[in-house]
Structure 1
Amino acid sequence: MKNRNIYVLVALIILAQHLCAATRLVVTSDGKSFWVSSIKQEGDILRYYENQTGEEKEIALDKVHGVIPSVTKGKHYTPGEIEKYINRIKKLKVKHKGLYRQLQTMQQEWEALQKPNPELEADIDKLKTSYDASDKSTAAYKQTVLDYGMIRYKDMQGKYAPKIDNLLEEIRSDYVAVNKARLEKQAAGADQMGFDAFIDFQTLAEYVAKEAKGGDKTAVEGMLQEVRTKVYDSQSRAAYTRFIRTKSIDAYLESARILYGLKENVAVTDEQKARVDKSMESLKAMVLKSNGGWQLTDKGFPLNRERGTMLSQLGHRASVNKMTYEDYNEEVLVIPERSPDNQIKWQRPFSFPMQAFIQRAQPAGRKFAFIITYPGAETFIKELGSIKFKDGMATVNLKDDFQGASGMQIFTNDEMGRYFFYFHLAYETTDEKGERAWKPISHRSVWPILP
């Protein structure tokens, strides 16, 4: 009967845990122990992988007195589970005096889960106080949720789970209420809202709707749709009036920015997008009629005769290469003023003036940089600061001294002994964490380097 009880005990343990990869201690009937993982029962045999060697082994079920899982950090254990493992360890300590120290250590680890953690309790309360004192923004809300997630990880037995759940629900409700009110205030001025402001409005509204429930969710989603319609209508009119005032190239670019922004960020239906396309074609026809000697590329870049000649002569070294995995809007075309072929040598400083042509007006104060990648090297950022465009063009200078790539060895890959590096223009933005980042705004230029 005694052996039968052991059979039942171990079989239940194995059946409940054989798919789990957690480390467990096996105690044998002759007073030995070893650590295993991926243990499972097959009839009267236990198969396992020994931690020390990684080998698959087996042992007869009647030679096992107990299997104890180690405490897994971040895993939730119920009070019943904790008590069960502690009692099992206590029984094994009585039977196997030689394993007392090892089993006592495991018992203390399990008992630690039953003790309150004053430091953790204090952290839970501090987070709530910190959020209440914040601006209740999406960034503050996300950070608070993330921080509570870290506390959950430390709270291995889930002792504070109910309290954390209640606080998170309170914070969620407050976040939705505060930001719903902010959205309502912004929505009141939707007729004068530009698409830049709309993008911010949309970003906030979509996240608030994601966190909201019931009537709040419906109200925010409806508000977003209403504002979207108003912005679409008002900005469609603004694009025309902006150009008609002066009919200049710069006016065209301002209007083009509005229309591109409407299509990329505001329009959602095929009908709305088609209307924007029609407005864009009308705008292009008007600017060419009002500005003799100018042409528009198929992507909408305005070029006069001089720029057109430059593109035809040096287009193979312009920013015309795009990787299939890259996702960005091409708003700038960069063309060198002279050919870089056979002009750049490895580890020697170089400087090249270039012409940057825009497809649409750029936001005031926008910061630019070149993202440069050398063969076998990391990516380097060469900041340019703000760029002032006139008639859709500005001069920028690409220069480097290879200091960031010093010590690198390059290998040639063509019959002339050249290697190629590539670069593209980018603008300053922030990533999902709110940290400074650079987003491409032109395709890549590919230039050769001589050894």
Structure 2
Amino acid sequence: MKILIEIAVITAFVIGNILIADVLVVTKKGESIWAITASKDNDIVSYVRREDGVEIKCSASELDGVLPVFKRGVSYSTNEGQKYIERIQKVRAKHPALMKQLNGILQEWENLLKADPEMEKKIYDAREEFYKSDKGPKAYRKLSVDLNMLQYKDMQGKYSAKIKEIIDQAKKEFVAVNKPKITALAAGGKVDVKTFLPIKIMGEELMQATEGAEKEEIKNAVEKSRAICLESGINTYSSAFTSARSLDAYLQSSAGLWLLRREVASSEQQITKIEKAIQSLISNVSNVFPKYDFSFRGFPLLQDEIRQFNNAGSKASRVTFADVLSENSCILIPMKEPGVLRLHNKFTIPLKAIFNQAQPADRIYGMIIQMHQKGGGLFQYSIKLPSFVITEGRATFSLEDDFSKLDGHFVLGPSDTDGNSFYFCCLAYLIPANDFNPQDEWRALSSFCAWRVLP
């Protein structure tokens, strides 16, 4: 006979009559697996992995918990919530390395028991703040974030209809105020990158808030501005090197063309046109400066630097991560052998950075650090670097780290199938918080270096 379980800690199953969906399975080895169903047949637990839909069967003795995920829109009693909180806390005490995953599901159950008595007032205040503002993108985004956060805390969905009503009305106001602004900017005729970026960002937000003919009108205004910006930008940036014929002029021209490639071009035809302009620029600079090899993405590399980069292998900046977008405007070469790092032992590694694009003089640089943690996932932090000077596309600096930014519960995990762990680092620059980006952000300039690290 197959017994279906209510979500529970494995050592104390509660018998029910329905199949349970959306759970976190925790093994005695400290692994965590998200699953979409779980059931028990005598001593055998079956669950379906969320990531690939594969059904897994194992003995109940191999697991420490099959933990519940809160379902929004479902009514739970206070006793149920308290029961699940206690079970999750027990598993968390046994597996501190899984703190991040367990805290996430624990917080949702705790929110169930902490209804906010001022919820209605907070919804009203958020609405009033928007209507007293300029109703621009920043105000509209803040209202959406504030109300979505309140809706997240409204575990039983009591205020869902009211929140939706406010957001829908605010959306209409946002479009009515800002649509004329974007059409006026687009009608100006002269559009450079600095002018186009606000048009692009506001246009994207307006298109998300509109549909039909109104959405098409906004899209046409954005695309008209994009085409003007691309045409004038390619001509301006391509001619900059032709006029000066210096390495710095090349880097300035390259930076401008790559900016068009990243921020302006959208269609395959536009991307192809810019890439042809970049290749033409590389061909021209190669003829003017034969001592440099520009064949690797336009980096001005000397023969010694090519050998150093190749000899360093993945200890130089070669590793990429799908969720870390890089501008690929820099390569890093360690100037001494990093060896094997030890977690919590301070180290200093000198690095050479070589750029294929000019960088703003006032740019703040840092390093993005990533390491795999036990139980899965990457732990990331950043280290601000002392200022350095870029000369002829080159700079040297040192990365110093004592691991003090690691979470107190961090446990090093494997990075490859052989069980090796790596310290990944890349060069980045700071984008300060602004109207379109409410928090400081580190943007990657290079791929990651990979250095062995031991606990």
TM-score by length of 2: 0.62
| Counterparts of residues 220-231 of structure 1 (less than 5 Å) | 220-231=218-229
Query: Contact conserved, 2:364 with 2:430, CA < 8 A, in 1?
Result: yes
- Gaps of at least 5 residues in structure 2 are 1-5, 7-15, 20-39, 41-70, 76-116
| Counterparts of residues 374-385 of structure 1 (less than 5 Å) | 376=373, 378-384=379-385
* Change in CA separation of 1:418 and 1:190 when aligned onto 2, cut-off 3 Å: same
User: Deviation of residue 186 (structure 1)?
Assistant: 3.1
User: Deviation of residue 294 (structure 1)?
Assistant: 1.3
Name the residue aligned to 1:372: 369
Name the residue aligned to 2:183: 184
Name the residue aligned to 2:274: 276
Name the residue aligned to 1:442: 446
- SS in structure 2 of the partner of residue 216 of structure 1: helix
Query: Contact conserved, 1:365 with 1:386, CA < 8 A, in 2?
Result: no
Name the residue aligned to 1:239: 237
- SS in structure 2 of the partner of residue 134 of structure 1: coil
Query: Contact conserved, 1:75 with 1:153, CA < 8 A, in 2?
Result: no
Name the residue aligned to 1:314: 312
| Counterparts of residues 320-399 of structure 1 (less than 5 Å) | 320-323=318-321, 326-341=324-339, 347-373=344-370, 376=373, 378-384=379-385, 387-399=388-400
Name the residue aligned to 1:8: none
- SS in structure 1 of the partner of residue 244 of structure 2: coil
User: Deviation of residue 424 (structure 1)?
Assistant: 1.6
User: Deviation of residue 229 (structure 1)?
Assistant: 0.7
- Gaps of at least 5 residues in structure 1 are 1-20, 22-35, 40-53, 55-71, 77-117
In 2, the alpha carbon distance for the partners of 1:157 and 1:324 equals 35
Name the residue aligned to 2:144: 145
Please, what is the CA RMSD of the aligned residues?
Answer: 4.2
| Counterparts of residues 83-232 of structure 1 (less than 5 Å) | 123-148=122-147, 150=150, 161=161, 167-189=166-188, 191-194=190-193, 197-232=195-230
In 2, the alpha carbon distance for the partners of 1:268 and 1:413 equals 35
In 2, the alpha carbon distance for the partners of 1:267 and 1:235 equals 11
The count of corresponding residues between Structure 1 and Structure 2 is 342
User: Deviation of residue 298 (structure 1)?
Assistant: 2.3
Amino acid at match of 1:277: E
- SS in structure 2 of the partner of residue 245 of structure 1: helix
Which of 234, 251, 254 lines up with 2:252 in the alignment? 254
- SS in structure 2 of the partner of residue 206 of structure 1: helix
Query: Contact conserved, 1:328 with 1:439, CA < 8 A, in 2?
Result: yes
User: Deviation of residue 155 (structure 1)?
Assistant: 11
In 2, the alpha carbon distance for the partners of 1:305 and 1:234 equals 36
* Change in CA separation of 1:177 and 1:363 when aligned onto 2, cut-off 3 Å: farther
Query: Contact conserved, 2:372 with 2:414, CA < 8 A, in 1?
Result: no
Amino acid at match of 1:362: Q
Instruction: Please state which structure has a larger fraction of its residues in helix.
Output: 1
- SS in structure 2 of the partner of residue 298 of structure 1: coil
Amino acid at match of 1:230: I
- SS in structure 2 of the partner of residue 295 of structure 1: coil
* Change in CA separation of 1:192 and 1:242 when aligned onto 2, cut-off 3 Å: farther
Question: Percentage identity across aligned positions?
Answer: 25
* Change in CA separation of 1:166 and 1:300 when aligned onto 2, cut-off 3 Å: same
* Change in CA separation of 1:369 and 1:159 when aligned onto 2, cut-off 3 Å: closer
* Change in CA separation of 1:178 and 1:335 when aligned onto 2, cut-off 3 Å: same
TM-score by length of 1: 0.63
* Change in CA separation of 1:273 and 1:371 when aligned onto 2, cut-off 3 Å: closer
- SS in structure 2 of the partner of residue 371 of structure 1: strand
* Change in CA separation of 1:290 and 1:207 when aligned onto 2, cut-off 3 Å: same
- SS in structure 1 of the partner of residue 318 of structure 2: coil
Query: Contact conserved, 2:326 with 2:443, CA < 8 A, in 1?
Result: yes
Name the residue aligned to 2:426: 424
In 2, the alpha carbon distance for the partners of 1:185 and 1:386 equals 41
Amino acid at match of 2:338: P
Structure having the higher Rg? 1
* Change in CA separation of 1:126 and 1:442 when aligned onto 2, cut-off 3 Å: same
Query: Contact conserved, 1:329 with 1:441, CA < 8 A, in 2?
Result: yes
Query: Contact conserved, 2:326 with 2:447, CA < 8 A, in 1?
Result: no
